[in-house]
Structure 1
Amino acid sequence: MNEIIAMKKVSPETRITPQEPIQQLLGKLKEKMKLVYHQRGDISEYSKQRGIAPFALREIMAVNPLSIGIPKEYGGRGAIMSENLALLETASYESLALSLTFGINSALFLQPVGKYALNEAKADVFKRFMEQQNMGGLMITEPDFGSDALNMQTFFKENQDAFHLQGKKHWAGLTGWADFWLLTARKKSENDELLRDIDFFICDVTQKDQGIKVEEFYDNLGLYQIPYGRNHIDVKIPKKQKLKPQTTGVKMMLDLLHRSRMQFPGMGMGFIHRMLDEAVIHCKQRFVGGKSLFNYDQVQSRLSKLQASFTVCSAMCANSSKVAGVDKDLTGIGIEANSVKSVITDLMQEAAQSVTQLVGAKAYRNSHIAGRGITDSRPFQIFEGSNDILYAQISEGIIKQMKRLKEKNFFQFLKGNELTSRSADHLKKLFNFDLDLQLSQRKLVELGQVLGRVISMEMVFKLADNGFRNDLIQGGINMLQDEITALMSNFHLSPQPLVVEDYQQGSSWLDLV
């Protein structure tokens, strides 16, 4: 890992001017990826190795892609959301792991630092990103407190000139690799009680008393290029490196996480586009029974859903470009952000599974883009909020709004909500009923799956307004409508079976023959 870090510095003459047109920057990134993944190296071989080959990282970072996440006053491109999404899309067409590396740096480090850090802290951080190709990540999750982030046990005490943080963090992408970390901790009072609010600190691991000890590197199932592990935190952070929330630390965390979730479509865009291209090429070239796979009805069904997923993801990218900029407060958009993250990550996993099914045995290898895509896209449904939890939270948020408005009719509520008004009209027959506002947890999840797709359909309608081609729009709407219809049918089913704890008694088939 130290070898990789040592190779990251790039001489001044190789840097790219940050203000060049975005398409020019992305074009150079594509050329670098072509060079390292297909000419000087083989991406199928990289997929079997941990980490990124030093020369590959050096060539890719020579384009200075992370300048996209840095404010203009510090030499960057201005942290424009559409540009960041385009960067993630470009990278994920070749490598989902590389795209996630960019996403961790931009959404989970550079954007919050640019928005909430003190000016004296920003200057050094951004200078090193621009000139030395440093990297940064975020540590929230703890071994005993995963999704329960508000109960994290990492704590800090304030001294005369520094904050002393102690605790454990794990599953932080770029473990042992990043030069900077955003660390989260709760303040410990004089009577040793942890306060409820959460604070964020910039940790510079290259400085004295700020080193983070990696206790274990995890053998993550996919995303081999990104190191994960368990970290021991015992650092002293200068006071200038504490982020300053506009209100509370919890709201700052929500703003950060919601913005990050709104950027998942950038990673999903290139990935789904690649899955679609691979599937179409294979099906046109593969002949079975005297005709190409492309002409079989079931194959057309799979391909059309891949294409519809491409359209839905395009709609999400266009939407995030407008509503998720760093200048906006995203604290209160949990329903929208959770819908975007959960639906697009479901579509990513389904896309990889579908292409693997179409290609067959050849795809069931780590060296094949589709087979590798299954394991690389799977954790997207888990990190930054497990989809089951996010779907339940979507329903809880909607039900809370319905109670406040004293509205029980599901259609009437959706019709009056800006996130769902047009799609509700399109699906009136499915939604014209009184909703039970006291749902079980599993029904909250099922309803959240419906709502996530209804909100996604609204984004597709808006994409159509902007001139996206109509046949693709119709395919996206049809797919979402089919999924919503099936999910609503399941939602209305009454039986909710429970686990039989003593199932081993009287359940041996062998005793019956």
Structure 2
Amino acid sequence: MLPYYQFLKQFSDNLHQLFTKTNNIDQLSTQRGLDKEMWSCIMKDNPLSVAIPTEFGGRGVQTKECLGILAAAAYESLPLSLTFGINIALFLEPLAKYGGECKAKIFNDFLTHKSMGGLMITEPEHGTDALHMQTSFTPTENGYHLSGQKHWQGLTGLADFWIVAAREKSEDGKLSRDVDFFVVDNANPEQQIQVTEYYKNLGLYMIPYGRNLIDIDVPADQKLIKHSSGIKMMLDILHRSRLQFAGMGMGFIQRLLDETLAHCTTRKVGSQKLIELDNVRYQLSRIQAAFTLCSGMCANSVAKSSIDHDLSDMGLEANCTKAFLTDLMQESAQIAVQLAGANGYKLDTVVGRSILDSRAFQIFEGANELLYTQVAEAALKQMRVAKAESLAAFLIEASYTQKSAPLFKDLLRFNVSGVLKQRQQVAIGKVIARLVCFQYVQDITEKGFREDLYASTKLHIEMDIKELLCDLEDYNNADIVEDYKADSDWLAFV
């Protein structure tokens, strides 16, 4: 087995060759999907072996190795990295942790046949409200029958294996409150999931999405083994995935930083290079701060998101990471496109695609506004239990902000009481997310990460918190006028 850094370099070099020398990634990325030959070339070094245990021939499911693969892929192509992220965090890691006797065959198929897998939770009528999913299962003589519909699963029609979430249906037709998960082998006729529609997704063209009809039988040994409840299993899987978003964000943001720096150091406006303009330097420093924060997130994910850990209770940190990271990805993309000028407004450029490709990350696996609300609710609940009213005092004591909050304590000195509007909760969630993730940067800086990147990032975090707290204390209470059409036609007033 190759040493990891040699393995990673070989994979990175292969991707660079495929996407910039052998093929034109800018043209490939405007097409729907990739052909089998291209996938075969991408998978030739078995990149997904990083998420397969050593006893089954893999590299051992080491989080550092998994995130390294995601970052290397994202530097060349965000959709490709998301493809690997789906396989790693939503299929292979759950299978390694919760799978039974079926694991050996499936892992072998991944290693020898370059198979791919995904996760089916979301339904047409139940997206964020996953606990009310209607896909059901009933016991049969040899296993289980699954019935229902799923949609917006990445790799629809492409994955060879699926983990499908369903609720048990009783004899009277009622669905269990708990959730179970089943591994489905799409090559088996009895387990084949039918794709009834492919969606024309906005961005991420490489990945097929669609609607799936489930009416299948699976053997008993393909049911994942719960360590406690199915809901806790689902939270463990989703929280691990959200923490490991950092790998995808790392390569994506670094590519935008490199592309934008290169453009600004060569492009001239009059007699000046773009990088000599003050506001351009400020905007570049925003992308660089995103790079720094993402570096801290990656290090934290390596420390905490191994499959050996139960992450079901780590919702606050997982939600902070996913929401703030994906906001940083979108902001970096917007800045990169703005600084590239007209050249950035082309679909067949890495900068031009970045806005659409990263936008979905703010929505799937929990819309960011919802996640920020959940962060605030969790923190406010902890404050009530601790009988604390001062946000500063509470966050200085909380383990996830005890190092970062003291740096900004003068900004945080106000009481939180009474009933808050959701828009206020979102603002609190955004503040906490910044403090949580900046603490990750503090941790790696103590280990030797660059002090100048830390110092610049601290200035941006401070500025963000000031702006967010203004929204919190003096928030805009504007509301929608639902029946707005009467007396609102401008033509009648001129």
Residue 65 (structure 2) pairs with residue 75 (structure 1)? no
| TM-score scaled by length of structure 1 | 0.95
Counterpart of 1:367?
Answer: 348
Give the deviation of 1:407 after TM superposition.
1.2
| TM-score normalised by structure 2 residue count | 0.99
- Pick the aligned partner of 1:242 from 216, 223, 231: 223
Residue of 313, 320, 340 corresponding to 2:321? 340
Aligned to 1:392: 373
Aligned to 1:499: 480
- The partner residue of 1:208 within 180, 185, 189 is 189
Q: Is the 8 A contact 1:142 1:169 kept in 2?
A: yes
Using the alignment, how far apart are the partners of 1:366 and 1:494 within structure 2? 37
Amino acid at match of 1:357: Q
Runs of 4+ in 1 over 4 A off after TM superposition: none
Please say if residues 118 and 159 of structure 2, whose CA atoms lie closer than 8 Å, have aligned partners that are also in contact: yes
CA contact (8 A) 2:53 2:61 kept: yes
My pick for the range that moved more, 177-186 or 404-413, is 404-413
Conserved in 1, the CA contact under 8 Å of 2:424 and 2:475? no
Residue of 280, 289, 300 corresponding to 2:261? 280
Q: CA deviation at 1:35?
A: 2.2
> Are 1:112 and 2:94 counterparts?
yes
Contact 1:273-1:310 within 8 A present in 2 as well: yes
How far apart are residue 429 of structure 1 and its match? 1.2
Q: Which runs of 5+ in 2 are unaligned?
A: none
Aligned counterparts of 2:296 and 2:476: Cα–Cα separation in 1: 36
Deviations 1:270-297 (A, max 9, x none): 0000000010110111111211001000
Q: How far, CA to CA, are the matches of 2:486 and 2:239 in structure 1?
A: 47
SS of 2:19's equivalent in the other structure is helix
List aligned pairs for 1:72-471, cutoff 5 A.
72-118=54-100, 120-471=101-452
1:57 matched to which residue of 2? 39
Residue identity matched to 2:483: D
Instruction: Describe the superposition over 1:447-499 as per-residue Cα deviations: whole angstroms up to 9, x where unpaired.
Output: 11111111111111111111101001111211111111111111111441111
Q: What is the Cα-based RMSD across aligned positions, in Å?
A: 0.9
1:96-145 deviations in Å (ceiling 9; x for gaps): 01101110000000000000011x11111111111111110000000000
Distance 2:447 2:284 in 1: 25
User: Contact between 1:92 and 1:99, CA under 8 Å: does it hold in 2?
Assistant: yes
Deviation larger for 299-308 or 490-499: 490-499
Q: What amino acid maps onto 1:264 in structure 2?
A: F
Say if 1:61 and 1:441 are closer, same or farther in 2 by CA, change over 3 A. Answer: same
CA shift, 1:230, in A, is 0.1
Equivalent position of 2:30 in the other structure: 48
Aligned 8 A contact 2:149 2:214 in 1: yes
Identical amino acids, percent of aligned pairs:
47
Quick one: which amino acid aligns to residue 417 of structure 2?
D
Q: Contact conserved, 1:96 with 1:267, CA < 8 A, in 2? A: yes
Equivalent residue, structure 2, for 1:16: none
Measure how far apart 1:386 and its partner are. Answer: 0.6
Cα deviation code 1:166-225 (max 9, x no counterpart):
000000000001110000000001111001000000000111310010000000010111
Q: How many residue pairs were aligned?
A: 494
Residues 460 and 477 of structure 1 are in contact (CA less than 8 Å); yes or no, is this contact kept in structure 2? no
Task: Map 1:502-513 onto structure 2 (within 5 A).
Answer: 502-513=483-494
Say whether the 8 Å CA contact 1:345–1:380 is kept in structure 2: yes
Structure 2 contact 73–251 (Cα < 8 Å) conserved: yes
Hey, what's the Cα distance between the residues in 1 that align with 2:35 and 2:159?
A: 16
Q: Secondary structure at the match of 1:429?
A: coil
Provide the residue aligned with 1:38 in structure 2.
20
> How many angstroms apart in 2 are the aligned matches of 1:494 and 1:335?
24
Closer, same or farther: CA 500–122 of 1 in aligned 2, 3 Å: same
Residue 245 of structure 1 aligns to a residue whose secondary structure is coil
Deviations 1:209-257 (A, max 9, x none): 1001000000001011100000000010100000011000000000000
In the superposition, relative to structure 1, how do residues 224 and 151 fare at CA in structure 2: closer, same or farther (>3 Å)? same
